[in-house]
């Protein structure tokens, strides 16, 4: 099952990487065209924002998989290992609860984006494109935490992929 979580995080990371490199490319081309020909990329801001949605949110599952989110580590040295494992189970459950409630209440704003055909200012790109990337990243994060939790509840934030 960890293999499934690893692959999910990896595939989303590839898209996130494309978003990151896309942001670099848009900025470089935009500045070059603006400086050289006085013709910047139309809607560069919106393209960068789309790249950011991919880069920031689709990278979250990978961060969850590697236990990269900020937690209070100090407690590990103060209490017995058994209690730390119990706290880790609680932490995983709390995180999953947070993500479930968050995703549930993101459904309505996404529906509104589709229902009212919201588009961006310059490119008239459907706003739901960016919204979908944000939601996908959080769904991926929830799945990764869930998969790792099912396999070993106490290691939900300290998973290492199986090779």
Provide the binding-site residues for other proteins, judged by CB under 8 A.
Answer: 13, 16-17, 20-21, 23-24, 26-28, 30-31, 35, 45, 48-53, 55-57, 59-64, 66, 68-75, 77, 84, 87-88, 90-91, 94-95, 97-99, 101-102, 104-109, 130-131, 133-135, 138, 141, 157
- The burial class, CB within 10 Å (0-12 / 13-18 / 19+), for 78 is exposed
User: Which of 38/77 has CB closer to other proteins?
Assistant: 77
Three-class DSSP category at 83? helix
Cβ-contact 87, 157 below 8 angstroms:
no
- For residues 49 and 152, which CB has a smaller minimum distance to other proteins in the complex? 49
- Residue number with CB closer to other proteins (130 or 149): 130
Going by the DSSP 8-state scheme, the letter that residue 41 receives in this structure is P
At 136, list the tokens: 């996908």
């Amino acid at each position: 099952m960890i293999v499934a979580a690893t692959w999910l995080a990896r595939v989303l990371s590839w898209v996130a990487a494309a978003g990151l490199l896309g942001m670099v490319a848009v900025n470089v081309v935009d500045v070059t065209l603006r400086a050289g020909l006085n013709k910047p990329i139309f809607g560069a801001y919106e393209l960068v924002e789309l790249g950011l949605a991919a880069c920031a949110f689709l990278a979250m599952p990978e961060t969850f998989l590697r236990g990269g989110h900020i937690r209070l580590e100090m407690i590990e040295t103060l209490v017995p290992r058994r209690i730390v494992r119990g706290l880790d189970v609680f932490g995983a459950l709390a995180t999953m609860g947070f993500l479930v409630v968050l995703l549930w209440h993101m459904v309505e704003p996404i529906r509104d984006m589709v229902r009212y055909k919201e588009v961006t200012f310059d490119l008239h790109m459907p706003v739901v494109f960016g919204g979908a990337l944000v939601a996908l990243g959080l769904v991926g994060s929830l799945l990764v935490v869930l998969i790792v939790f099912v396999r070993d509840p106490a290691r939900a934030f300290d998973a290492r992929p199986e090779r």
